[in-house]
A and B are shown apart, each in its own frame.
Chain A
């Protein structure tokens, strides 16, 4: 069974631009969560989607948004990019929502110049 895939793997943007990251969960998994990883803040939860509905949201500004499609694939969008948004963005999928083990993708490395 294929794992979680994320595209693109690397991305370079400039301040003020917007970016969309994509995540395809493991087949049959209906829950997708997103995390931001930076050297200073570590791993921080962004949001969780299940059956196209956002179930949980972390403490990030409204510039960070996401959505989930009927096939469970998910996208996250960051608008008006700032230098501090440079990070590894990780997507994780799980079979069901809430508290169960999550399987992570390889991440998208975003660099904002």
Chain B
């Protein structure tokens, strides 16, 4: 069965600092991997996706993630945090016989201090 683990339910960084949100997955088949962001009282917005092409994936708003099969990881990074990045971030996996079903991690709330 597929699963996702996000390390750290809360992460706090200073404005301008590196953002690193961790995601590890478990999948018996080559996975599709996604990062979504959710602002208060809104739905989920897709930041980026990995679908077995390049292992370094660039997304919107300056975010990127690297797929590391040997570590079963798909960590999300951004070189310089902005106040507007404060939100909840979800890592998700799909693929194989799960079809279009997305399996989400528990989420990481990112706070950005001025």
Contact = CB atoms under 8 A, between A and B. Distances in A.
Q: Decide if the interface of chain A is mainly helix, strand, loop or mixed.
A: strand
A11 to B, nearest CB: 15
A84 to B, nearest CB: 18
A94 B44 contact: no
A42 B106 contact: yes
B104 interface: yes
A94 to B, nearest CB: 6
Interface residues of A, number: 27
B102 A33 contact: yes
B100 A100 contact: yes
A25 interface: no
Interface stretch (A12-20, A70-78, A102-110): A102-110
Interface of B: 32, 34, 36, 42-46, 49, 51, 90, 92, 94-95, 98-107
Interface of A: 4, 31, 33, 35, 42-45, 48, 50, 55-56, 58, 90, 92, 94, 97-107
